[in-house]
Amino acid sequence: MMRIVILTGAGISAESGLGTFRDKDGLWTKYDLEDVATPQGFAHNPRLVHDFYNARRANCLAALPNDAHHALARLEAEFPGDVVIITQNIDNLHERAGNHRVWHMHGELLRALCASCGHRWNAPAIMTPQDPCPACHALATRPDVVWFGEMPHMMDDIQQALYEADLFVSIGTSGTVYPAAGFVRIASAGGAQTLEINLETTGSVFDETRQGEAGKQVPAWVDEVLRQA
């Protein structure tokens, strides 16, 4: 059975209207990453951090999956082998397109986490520092997202999937944030073919690179894979 492992980043949601981080006008040109995406930033100003993620949650709920998300849902439904999506994105557009195997290594906008007891629950549309944990009642509610300096989720499963992959495809990520940026090397060392689909080439070590918008390139690639399957 052929195994395909797909890594996605902000570029796959760009055509849905969700901003990327490092492009011109990207989120990190408007906000200081240290302020809104680190445990220290949250300790210093939790309201600012909640407001940042509240705005992103509203954008996510107002957005729709695009042709790239839909193509990956079709791949999961129709490919006779194994398909898993590892996403750095905290939006839910893969799930809303119909993918079932989506691993959110950087967490999820629509989930809340208690920093005191570790309880997780569905995030309300607007979160505030005054929200008590429904389990332990501590005032330590935070978005269930992974910040810089924290451990991404599911790393053991991801490592195993990368070693077992026959094909590793990276879509819409600049390849600047580790550990995700190192996945191509792990997959390659494990014997996988590697393909990058991105607006720009990232200079990383892929066997093949396809340049262009995810909304065009991903459906074309999925058509090819399903034709050959």
Q: Which C-beta is closer to ligand OAD: that of 2 or that of 19?
A: 19
CA angle 28, 48, 178 (to 5 degrees): 40
CA distance 177 to 126: 28
Q: Is 106 a catalytic residue?
A: yes
> What angle separates helix 214-228 from helix 67-78, to the nearest 10 degrees?
20
Residues that bind ligand OAD (CB under 6 A): 9-11, 14-15, 20-23, 26, 37, 88, 106, 146-148, 172-174, 176-177, 198-200, 202, 213-214
Write the DSSP string, 94-159.
HHHHT-S-EEETTEEEEEEEETTT--EEEPPSS--TTPPPTTT--S-EEEEEPPTTSPPTTHHHHH
* Least Cβ distance, residue 132 to ligand OAD (angstroms): 26
Smallest distance, ligand OAD to C-beta of residue 204, A: 10
The CB density around residue 24, as the number of other CB atoms within 10 Å, is: 6
Q: Which is nearer to ligand OAD, 48 or 139 (CB)?
A: 48
Q: Which of 106, 119, 137, 153 is catalytic?
A: 106
Closer CB to ligand OAD, residue 63 or residue 177?
177
CB nearer to ligand OAD: pick between 34 and 135: 34
Write out the catalytic residue numbers.
Answer: 106
